[in-house]
Amino acid sequence: MRSSPAAGWDRTEVGGLGGTGTIWRMDPRPAPDPKKLLAQWMEWETGQTPPGRVMSNLKTGGLRELLEQLSGQAAAEG
């Protein structure tokens, strides 16, 4: 059997009609870092990074999760 391809990965054995195999799963994403997300946004505002790259960075950086969290907090506060 293969060992884990990198730290932070977990192996799960699966089986089904198509046969058996292994699925490698990553650890859950870390919590979004608001300072890092803001820095990526500012790179776009200052013209250092193209909009498509900034959107990609914001998406993988967890902007959606951060906005959902803030929206939930605002709704709970009333």
Q: How confident is the model at residue 20 (pLDDT cuts 50, 70, 90)?
A: low
Domain boundaries, the chain: 34-77
Element (H, E) at 66: helix 63-77
pLDDT tens column, 21-60: 776 666 677 899 999 999 999 999 999 999 999 999 999 9
pTM of the model: 0.63
Residue for token pair 């929206």: 71
pLDDT tens column, 57-72: 999 999 999 999 999 9
